[in-house]
Structure 1
Amino acid sequence: MNGRRSPVAVWLGQVGILVRKELLQIVRDRALLLFTVYIFTLDILLAAGNAGFDVRHAPIGIVDLDRSAASRELVYRVRAPHFEARPLNASPDAAGRLLDEGAIHALLEIGPGFERSLQRGQEAPVQLVIDGSKATLGYLIESYGERILAQESAGWAAARLAREGVDARSLPQVRLQPRTWYNADLRETWFATISELVTMMTVAAIFLPAAALIREKERGTIEQLLVSPLAPLQIVLAKVFAMTLVMLAGAAVAVGGIMVGLLDVPFRGSPVLFFALLALYAVTTSGLGIVAATFARNSGQVGLIVLLIVMPILFLSGSWNLVEGMPSWLRAGIELSPLRHFVPIAYGIVLRGTGLDAIWPSVVKMLALGTTLFAVGVWRFRRQFR
């Protein structure tokens, strides 16, 4: 042995030196460092604060044209925390204008003769006018309204059966007994924070390597690197590995410090498996960032290109919306979204505590798609400087 290192060791040592250079540069780049700190800390907290699809204090106008004990009982049911009832001494048309102006989200109109119809055992219609311009909120208000009216109707039905000597409990009925696994209280914060974390990992995995390559272009140092005894693959790998280390550090703060430490999100699976697959996802998805950098000439352009790449990935991932609700022609493209394959991995490990034996199909798909994207990125980078 003559003490000389093997070519592979020299090659990897050069990559290691470049990785350290990239880490030093991101520390010195205050804007990029602030962006990285923000997406893994404050952004996660904001996502937790905005989590939830429950209706809270939705303003609803009440027009009671019956003014009876039964109508007052119904109005009493339309109360906080779901609704903020606003009795209106106005005609239905005047109240409708408040709906047009956005002052209220819904209008409950109780017609004259409401109590009399109930006492006679007749149908007592109640009109609920909903602002459908906000579709999700409108759907939730309709669901809550139907539940409230069903409870009111059941109360009147039980009272009439009691007067006729019939015990309502003796009648046949179907009772649903739900059992919710993994998130028994249906805490939206758990879902929202994990969703935001994987979203920000996707943004960072694409943007940070692209920003690192563009920085070399803007400073005119990319040509110096290419004429040095370094292969283009070494340059790309150094930037990807450095940014992956930054993302893993940020994810560790987000998971351990914010999600588990502050928000009490449970972590039921293996942290080693989670961060290993997180690193794999970051490395493979970074190929899209490399491709973006080859088309851009400055930081402004790369930001726009990354935005064009990220948005379809997010919308096709099932993280922001339901894949089951997509049209068939759009569902055909979800397999091309890297995040689509990482979402079940993240939720499976964190909330369900699943192991590799349960999520390996998603891992294989993510690896296959990511390797292809990374290869295309390296090919584009090498071809650009020939």
Structure 2
Amino acid sequence: MQFLLTLRDWMRPMLALTRKELTQLWRDRVLLLFLVYAFTVDIYLAGSGVTLQVSHARTVISNADHGVAARELTGRLVEPTFRVDAQAHTQAQALAELDRGGAMLALDIPPRFSADLAAGRQTTIGLWADTSNSVQGFMAASYITRVVSRFGIETGLSQALGQGAGVAAGSLPTVDNRIRAWYNPNQDDAWFMSLSQLLNIITVFAILLPAAAAVREKERGTVEQLLVSPLSPVQILLPKVLAMGGAILLAILLSLGFVLWPIFDVPCRGSLGLFFGLSALYVFSTAGLGLFIATVARNQAQVGMLTILLLAPMLFLSGAWTPPEAMPPWLAHAMVISPLHHFMDIAFGVMLKGQTAAALLRPIATLSVIGCLLFGFGLYRFRRQFG
């Protein structure tokens, strides 16, 4: 009974401070508007305007043959993957179009291309790609290479069957290629982009809001009043995390209800309660960085700059843009210290894969350890600065 009374007395000022933080956030209309914008409009723009697939790649063709095979090959470069804006008379004109940025791909078909194929002779075509945007250029070149390769295979097979090569159709080896895309069968980029942007925005505000709330006390001179009150550092800092974490969870619900579900039709195959519970764990884990920033920054402008400084490596080490397998070994091992990397596994596992807490035990445990360390470090810095 005495423990419950002590806990009640310990929680009462924390609840009052939490209510005070929520009131201050509600009065800060600029920050509140930024919060709503980030969790709605910004996520919509990321999901609808960013794609990882090649679409309408501008292509210029220099066709010096105009034979049947050449027309068949160029006829396969169709939208929405390719967009043939112009025909060049010579290879030099096609390369000039590529150099001035008028096209991403330049395809050169030499004379007698169709005649060489009909006679069974080896022939070549030229392909140039603008890889100033390396990702898009490489993907566009891969797409058109696949089209040309399939055309070559089909042409060779038809010649083997129809030109008296003595090959029976049933004796040729065949490949039964059956592709099964799991969790996102339509390979809809909007699912990945909108959900990834949601996680990035959660990270930004999980660092920014607690730091801004703590620095606000410095700017207004009220931190000294809190320090002389009969409150421990935990009772001073934890309400800021609780209040801002609650605001972030409400913003997540706003984003799911108004953007991800109705507009992009992102599924939630797992437990929604588990997703919000683990999101709260992630907000707590990342808030330790915000408390650390609050001990270093002297004003709100410095809070924003330091948030960007910490956010950049977290995003690069999250695995959203580059998988660990494609990174140098030392950098792939460094991803374990990024809370966002583990939250990515958790969020995509719950939302798209329908995984349970037991299946996500490893990232949950790692995120919990990181959260305790970061919050403990922020609390230690606060005690050192004001103790």
- Structure 1-normalised TM-score? 0.95
Deviation at residue 8 of structure 1 after TM alignment: 2.1
Distance (whole Å) between structure 2 residues aligned to residue 140 and residue 344 of structure 1: 26
Q: Evaluate the alpha carbon distance shift between residue 106 and residue 14 of structure 1 in structure 2; reply closer, same or farther with a 3 A threshold.
A: same
- Whole-Å separation in 2 of the counterparts to 1:194 and 1:78: 32
Stretch moving more, 138-147 or 164-173: 164-173
Q: CA deviation at 1:368?
A: 0.4
Q: Write out per-residue CA displacement over residues 164-220 of structure 1, whole angstroms, 9 at most, x where no aligned residue.
A: 264545411222222222221111211112211111111111111011111111122
2:60–2:105 CA contact under 8 A, matched in 1:
yes
The residue type paired with residue 143 of structure 2 is Y
Letter in 2 for 1:219: R
Partner of 1:175: 176
Match of residue 122 from structure 1: 121
- Mean Cα deviation higher: 357-366 or 87-96: 87-96
1:230-272 alpha-carbon deviations (Å, 9 max, x no partner): 2221111010000000000011111233212322111011111
Name stretches of at least 5 consecutive residues in structure 1 with no aligned partner: none
Q: CA deviation at 1:84?
A: 1.1
**In structure 2, distance between residues paired with 1:50 and 1:169:** 48
Cα distance change on mapping 1:96 and 1:384 into 2, 3 Å: same
The aligned amino acid for 1:158 is: L
Deviation at 1:4, TM superposition (A): 12
Aligned partner of 1:19 in structure 2 is 18
Query: Counterpart of 2:163?
Result: 163
- Aligned length, in residue pairs: 385
Unpaired segments ≥5 residues, structure 2: none
Shift in Å at residue 293 of structure 1? 1.3
Contact 1:63 1:87 in 2 (8 A): no
Q: Which amino acid aligns with 1:262?
A: I
Conserved 8 A contact 1:64-1:110 = yes
Q: Post-superposition shift, 1:163?
A: 2.9
Instruction: Tell me: CA distance 1:114–1:385, structure 2 relative to 1, closer, same or farther (3 Å).
Output: same
The alignment status of 1:330 with 2:331, answered yes or no, reads yes
Q: Shift in Å at residue 155 of structure 1?
A: 2.9
Aligned positions of 1:253-268 closer than 5 A: 253-268=254-269
Deviates more, 1:164-173 or 1:46-55: 164-173
CA apart distance, 1:93 = 2.2
Aligned-pair Cα RMSD in Å = 1.8
Paired amino acid for 2:9: V
Aligned residue in 2 for 1:28 = 27
Gap change, CA 1:228 and 1:61, over 3 Å in 2: same
Secondary structure at 1:40's aligned position in 2?
helix
CA distance in 2 between partners of 1:362 and 1:5 (Å): 34
SS at match of 1:297: coil
Q: 2:99, 2:229 → 1: CA distance?
A: 67
Whether the 8 Å CA contact 2:219–2:299 is kept in 1: the answer is: yes
Task: Quote the residue 1:149 is aligned against.
Answer: 148
Tell me how far apart the structure 2 counterparts of residues 101 and 231 of structure 1 sit (CA, whole Å): 65
| CA pair 225-122 structure 1, distance change in 2 beyond 3 A | same
For 1:18 and 1:169, the matched residues in 2 are separated by 79
1:377 deviation in Å? 0.4
**Superposition map of 1:264-279 within 5 A:** 264-279=265-280
Q: 2:42: which partner in 1? A: 43
Partners of 1:290 and 1:167 lie apart in 2 by 74
Equivalent positions of 1:220-299 (< 5 A) are 220-299=221-300
Whether the 8 Å CA contact 2:319–2:341 is kept in 1: the answer is yes
Q: Describe the SS at the equivalent of 2:359.
A: helix
Query: Secondary structure in 1 aligned to 2:85?
Result: strand
Aligned to 2:108: 109
1:5 positional shift: 7.8
Aligned 8 A contact 1:57 1:80 in 2 = yes
Identity of aligned residues (%): 42
